Amino acid sequence: MSETKKRLLISKWHDGAKRSEIERRMERLLFEVDTLNSAVGKLNDQDEEIETLKSDLEERDETIKELESERDARDDAAYGVLEDVKYWLHSGLVHHRLVSDPRQMLRKVEEVLR
């Protein structure tokens, strides 16, 4: 076999080896790209879940604030009735006279207890 033929065969074999190496690298890169795309898709899904959870949390915070304001209003009403009872009892015990009808005071207390 001549030297030229040997070189031609070696170069073809060498080019084939380079080509197969390039193909293996391309396959590995494509696999890595698919893996990254999958990871990005999962991150996007998680971002959507986070946004949903944030909006749910905001709604619950608003509900809590509304319930707290209702509770505070009931507490203020109860405190007002207790003040009325205190002064009503004070007038009855100290001055020996009732300022108002005891039934009205009882109705106020009953409303607070409900």
DSSP-assigned letter for residue 14: H
Question: Which tokens hold the place of 18?
Answer: 């380079």
Rounded average pLDDT over 56-84: 93
Question: Which tokens hold the place of 111?
Answer: 């409303």
Taking alpha carbons only, the member of 108, 102, 53 closest to residue 79 is 108
Q: pLDDT-based confidence at 1, cuts 50/70/90?
A: low
Distances, alpha carbon 111 to alpha carbons 30, 70, 80, 100, 114, in Å: 74, 15, 12, 17, 5
DSSP-assigned letter for residue 84: H
pLDDT over threshold 90, residue 86:
no
pLDDT over threshold 70, residue 75:
yes
The pLDDT value recorded for residue 64 is 96
Residue 108 or residue 64, greater confidence: 64
Cα dihedral 70, 72, 73, 77 in deg (nearest 10):
140
pLDDT tens digits along 5-43: 666 666 666 666 666 777 788 888 889 988 998 989 899
